[in-house]
């Protein structure tokens, strides 16, 4: 059981380039989340999705777009990368359940550097 898989694991971009980070989960979870983690800090929510075809903004959405065309996949896009977006990006999935009661399952992250 793979759980939550993120690709790629590492990437270096130049300022202004675009790229897409892929998150795939095989647990049939309804909810999926994208977070970023900067050095020495906790994770911050970028965008999330409560089901196929739906997305919503989190705490720090500027500069990012997302899509959830299939239930098992959640894509995070950077249209024009900026050095401030250098970070480690984590995807998580969650089973739909009682309010605030379900743990989130995280992937191992994508380390993104923007020069």
Partner 1 sequence: DAKTTQPNSMESNEEEPVHLPCNHSTISGTDYIHWYRQLPSQGPEYVIHGLTSNVNNRMASLAIAEDRKSSTLILHRATLRDAAVYYCILSVFMEYGNKLVFGAGTILRVKS
Which one, 85 or 94, has the nearer CB to partner 1? 94
77-96: which residues touch partner 1 (CB under 8 A)?
Answer: 90, 92, 94
Dist. CA 78–CA 20, nearest whole Å: 6
- Residue 16's CB is within 10 A of a number of other CB atoms, namely 10
Between strands 19-25 and 43-51, the pairing is unpaired
- Interface segment toward partner 1; rule CB under 8 A; list 13-21, 52-60, 66-74, 79-87: 52-60
Closest separation between CB of residue 51 and partner 1, Å?
Answer: 8
Q: Which of 110, 45, 53 is nearest to 81 (CA)?
A: 110
Is the CB of 43 or the CB of 76 nearer to partner 1? 43
What whole-number distance in Å separates Cα of residue 11 and Cα of residue 81? 12
Closer to partner 1 at the Cβ: 1 or 100? 100
Distance of closest approach, residue 82 Cβ to partner 1, in angstroms: 23
Nearest-Å Rg of the Cα atoms of the chain is 13
Residues in the chain: 115
Q: Which residues bind partner 1 (CB under 8 A)?
A: 4, 31, 33, 40-45, 48, 50, 56, 58-59, 90, 92, 94, 99-109
């Amino acid at each position: 059981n793979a759980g939550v898989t993120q690709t790629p694991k590492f990437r270096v971009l130049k300022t202004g380039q675009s790229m897409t980070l892929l998150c795939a989960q095989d647990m049939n979870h309804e909810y999926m989340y994208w977070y970023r983690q900067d050095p020495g800090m906790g994770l911050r929510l970028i965008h999330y999705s409560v089901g196929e075809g739906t997305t919503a903004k989190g705490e720090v959405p500027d500069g990012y777009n997302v899509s959830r065309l299939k239930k098992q996949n959640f894509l995070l896009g950077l249209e024009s990368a900026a050095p401030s977006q250098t970070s480690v990006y984590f995807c998580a999935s969650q089973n739909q359940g009682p309010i605030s009661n379900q743990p989130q399952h995280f992937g191992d992250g994508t380390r993104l550097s923007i020069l």
